[in-house]
Structure 1
């Protein structure tokens, strides 16, 4: 149907078409509303999970206080232990600094948590002094040094990590009621008062990250007197953690010490992993990552890299007797090939992009992954050429199957926050190392020939 409507000029309106357009707009609006509601529900679920996880961990830590009380009761020890309390708070503040959390708020929270812990211990002492359940005290006691304290240290670190993960919730007025309700419900250990629960929740609401400003990294490192270097400890010759010696070693560890020396500050090595590298950078767990990190676009979306200090590429390694079987990517990518790869880094990205037929085994321990090939539990691995060179030197059973060839090209640099002042400092330091031949000297300690830029 067509209708002429006069409004000074003659206009033809297609009513049927107009109705269709209106319905389309209505349906689109409803679809967008549904999508927005679904996103809101999902976001609320994530918030609830973070809050519940935080309070569950706090509750789990407080749950050990009955055993602590039993140990002190049987060994005639006082509930108060000021030196130990100071050590716990100092450790929490150290971790808070690493994570970029406001130390004042973290200090207040852990102090209140310690008071709640002592409140629970006093509760049990009171019951036992009154003769209630005193016959069962021996069965509740656990060794304080060997069992309880390691668990408390682990849970304390988990709580601090959870504070960082939920920081944007804790200090948001919108979630104050949720926090109080969940805190009162989930902190349910016998002996802790409602007043202590409320104090714990209120102290949590003050937790926030330290303010960041342009160029803050260099200034923070200099003012704190500490350089925090993230490293994986599983990628020799760049970074390896030697368990028997309880220390890190490698090219990047030596370079980290050199960078700290140039700044006149203490070096503090922070463990990270390939799957968590970018998340740890985002959460400010370190000032710079030095662990043989490949310069890749996906990493540049979240951080900056120094100038490259090494170049290479991916290449395969296998048993020497199988060199001919795996001397090309085409030969490797066949059904029946057992390819092994460590998770979360550029090795897995390369495998995911290029391997379609071979069986892929994702193996978590990058320090023992080459033993899987040597022992015959895997056929081949594709990794950086420098790592292949080192591993084949250390184990005569293993060989590069494509010697002097790589499947791609990559360069390594030091990953840091998107802070140009900090990057300029690191680049200048690195330039001077290269100019003075110190960079090649560091490489020569771990690998020959020296593959530096």
Structure 2
């Protein structure tokens, strides 16, 4: 009997050491107890998350976050975070989930888990107007005579360094910097996600730049959470399925990708 109790005590100690607690509380339980869902995002990625004239964060992801919080019966807290530090902030529990138009990559998946992707996008090119007709694809840009740019820490940066590696590359902290540098003729091209580039080209670039709108990568976007949290992951995937079954996903998608009424909130 003593040996049995000793074995049980050792097993308990090992479990406590490896998990931090015998009954470690999962994220979903913490959210319900706290009464607040905390999402991490980097406002500025139209139309997924952006700041309107009132200083409010709005967007495709934000509308889904509001519905998510409503389904959980909790309040929503938006934690604005710089993109290059958003994964460390998630890992250190600054918020519960990344909802920021994040592309699923194997490298990111090493330090976090992803939900089922909710949209498929790709990289496109905002091109200096003087190069119209001369540069027709990313392959034409792959030349030392050109200077191309992306946003630091993004898959656009990864794709550029991999597929346009012969061109001179520089990075910016924000998407807006990249767009304006193309418009001002300081760089030849800005590589970024198609949805953002389409809006930027229509909003700021008409007659000032060219949008090569045929994406040259395929990138699934998903929500990111901390590892070892199967209950939260299961809830998120079921939540997304329900949104699509109910038609709510299509409503939100059409609002941000097929309609442009929201542009009045930022102009």
The answer to whether TM tops 0.5 is yes
Q: Give the structure with the higher percent helix.
A: 1
Distance 1:212 1:251 in 2: 38
Residue 274 of structure 1, CA deviation: 2.0
Distance 1:329 1:427 in 2: 35
Tell me the residue number matched to 2:209.
398
> What are the residue-to-residue correspondences of 1:156-235 with 2, within 5 Å?
216-235=26-45
CA 1:380 to 1:212, structure 2 compared with 1: closer, same or farther past 3 Å?
farther
* Paired residues of 1:293 and 1:413 also in contact (CA < 8 A): yes
Q: Which of residues 111, 114, 119 is equivalent to 1:302?
A: 111
Secondary structure of the equivalent of 1:324? coil
Secondary structure of the equivalent of 1:315? strand
Tell me the residue number matched to 2:51.
241
Moved over 6 A (4+): none
Q: Deviations over 1:81-130 (max 9, x none)?
A: xxxxxxxxxxxxxxxxxxxxxxxxxxxxxxxxxxxxxxxxxxxxxxxxxx
Tell me the residue number matched to 2:225.
416
Q: Which of residues 65, 74, 82 is equivalent to 1:265?
A: 74
Distance 1:345 1:224 in 2: 32
Q: Which of residues 301, 318, 339 is equivalent to 2:127?
A: 318
* Paired residues of 2:161 and 2:169 also in contact (CA < 8 A): no
Distance 2:190 2:50 in 1: 19
Tell me the residue number matched to 1:444.
254
2:84 maps to 1:275: yes
Secondary structure of the equivalent of 2:101? strand
Distance 1:394 1:375 in 2: 15
Residue 391 of structure 1, CA deviation: 1.6
Secondary structure of the equivalent of 1:412? strand
Tell me the residue number matched to 1:357.
166
TM-score, structure 2 as length reference: 0.82
Residue 430 of structure 1, CA deviation: 0.7
Tell me the residue number matched to 2:236.
426
Distance 2:155 2:230 in 1: 25
Secondary structure of the equivalent of 1:326? coil
Secondary structure of the equivalent of 1:276? helix
Q: Radius of gyration: which is bigger?
A: 1
* Paired residues of 1:391 and 1:398 also in contact (CA < 8 A): no
Distance 1:433 1:398 in 2: 37
* Paired residues of 2:151 and 2:192 also in contact (CA < 8 A): no
- How large is the Cα RMSD of the aligned pairs? 2.1
Distance 2:71 2:100 in 1: 19
Distance 1:213 1:275 in 2: 33
* Paired residues of 2:149 and 2:157 also in contact (CA < 8 A): no
Secondary structure of the equivalent of 1:371? helix
CA 1:324 to 1:351, structure 2 compared with 1: closer, same or farther past 3 Å?
same
Distance 1:240 1:374 in 2: 21
Q: Give the structure with the higher percent strand.
A: 2
Q: Which of residues 369, 374, 394 is equivalent to 2:178?
A: 369
TM-score, structure 1 as length reference: 0.50
Distance 1:359 1:240 in 2: 29
Tell me the residue number matched to 1:119.
none
Residue 213 of structure 1, CA deviation: 5.7
Secondary structure of the equivalent of 2:175? coil
Tell me the residue number matched to 1:25.
none
Secondary structure of the equivalent of 1:431? helix
Tell me the residue number matched to 1:387.
196
Q: Deviations over 1:291-338 (max 9, x none)?
A: 111111111111111111110211212145533233222211112212
